[in-house]
Structure 1
Amino acid sequence: METTRNVQPVTVDLGKEGSGELVSSRYAVRVGDVNVVVISDGVLPLPTSTMSTNVSEADRNEWFDGRFLQRDTFDWALNVALVRSGEHLILIDSGVGDGFEYFARAGQSVRRLESAGIDLAALTDIVITHMHMDHVGGLNVDGVRAKLRPDVRIHVAAAEVAFWENPDFSKTVMPEAVPPALRKAAAKFMQLYGENVVPFDRTVNVAPGVSARVTGGHTPGHCVVDVASKGEKLTFVGDAIFEVNFDHPDWQNGFEHDPEKAKDVRIALLDEAAETGALLAAAHVGFPSVCHVAKDGDRFRSVPVVWDY
Structure 2
Amino acid sequence: MIDPRMKISRRHALLGGALSLGALAGGAGLITSASSAFAKAPLVGKPAPYFYRFKFGDGEITVVSDGTLPLGDPHSNFTGLSAADMDKQLKDNFLPLSNAVLEQNILILNTGDKLIVFDTGMGSSKLFGPTTGKLMQTMKEAGIDPKDVDAVVMSHAHIDHCGGCMADDGSRNFPNAQFYISQADYDYWTDEKTVGPNLKAFLDQARKNLVPNRDRMVFFKDGQEFLPGITAISAPGHTVGHTVFMINSGGKSLCYIGDLAHHPVLLLQEPLTEFVYDTDPKQSAQSRVKILTMLAANRIPVLAYHFAWPGFGHVAAQGQGFRYYPAPMVMEM
The interval holding the TM-score normalised by the smaller chain is 0.7 to 0.9
TM-fit CA distance, 1:66: 2.4
SS at match of 1:219: coil
The answer on 1:160 being equivalent to 2:168 is no
Cα distance, 1:229–1:282 mapped onto 2, change above 3 Å: same
Alignment correspondent of 1:294: 316
CA distance in 1, matches of 2:125, 2:314: 35
- What TM-score, normalized to structure 1? 0.85
Of all paired residues, the percent bearing the same amino acid is: 26
Is the Cα contact below 8 Å between 1:50 and 1:253 reproduced in 2?
Answer: no
Is the Cα contact below 8 Å between 1:234 and 1:280 reproduced in 2?
Answer: yes
Cα distance, 1:23–1:76 mapped onto 2, change above 3 Å: same
CA distance in 2, matches of 1:128, 1:285: 17
Is the Cα contact below 8 Å between 1:125 and 1:206 reproduced in 2?
Answer: no
> Which of these residues, 131, 137, 150, is aligned with residue 105 of structure 1?
131
- What TM-score, normalized to structure 2? 0.79
Between Structure 1 and Structure 2, which shows a larger proportion of strand residues?
A: 1
Is the Cα contact below 8 Å between 1:41 and 1:95 reproduced in 2?
Answer: yes
The answer on 1:26 being equivalent to 2:62 is no
Larger RCO (alpha carbons 8 Å, 6+ apart): 1
The answer on 1:200 being equivalent to 2:200 is no
TM-fit CA distance, 1:291: 0.6
Q: How does 1:143-292 map to 2 (within 5 A)?
A: 145-150=171-176, 152-164=177-189, 165-166=191-192, 168=194, 179-242=199-262, 243=264, 244-292=266-314
Cα distance, 1:72–1:229 mapped onto 2, change above 3 Å: same
Is the Cα contact below 8 Å between 1:145 and 1:192 reproduced in 2?
Answer: no
Is the Cα contact below 8 Å between 2:121 and 2:164 reproduced in 1?
Answer: yes
The answer on 1:78 being equivalent to 2:107 is no
TM-fit CA distance, 1:146: 4.0
Flag structure 1 segments of 5+ consecutive residues without an equivalent: 1-10, 171-176
TM-fit CA distance, 1:214: 2.2
Residues 156-194 of structure 1, C-alpha deviations (whole Å, 9 max, x = no match)? 101111212246469xxxxxx971211110111223212
CA distance in 1, matches of 2:313, 2:207: 34
Flag structure 2 segments of 5+ consecutive residues without an equivalent: 1-39
CA distance in 2, matches of 1:217, 1:25: 31
CA distance in 2, matches of 1:169, 1:252: 19
Cα distance, 1:63–1:156 mapped onto 2, change above 3 Å: same
> Which of these residues, 117, 138, 143, is aligned with residue 91 of structure 1?
117
Matched pairs, number: 288
Alignment correspondent of 2:68: 43
Cα distance, 1:138–1:12 mapped onto 2, change above 3 Å: farther
SS at match of 2:219: strand
CA distance in 2, matches of 1:26, 1:144: 27
- The one-letter code of the counterpart of 2:44 is G
Alignment correspondent of 2:14: none
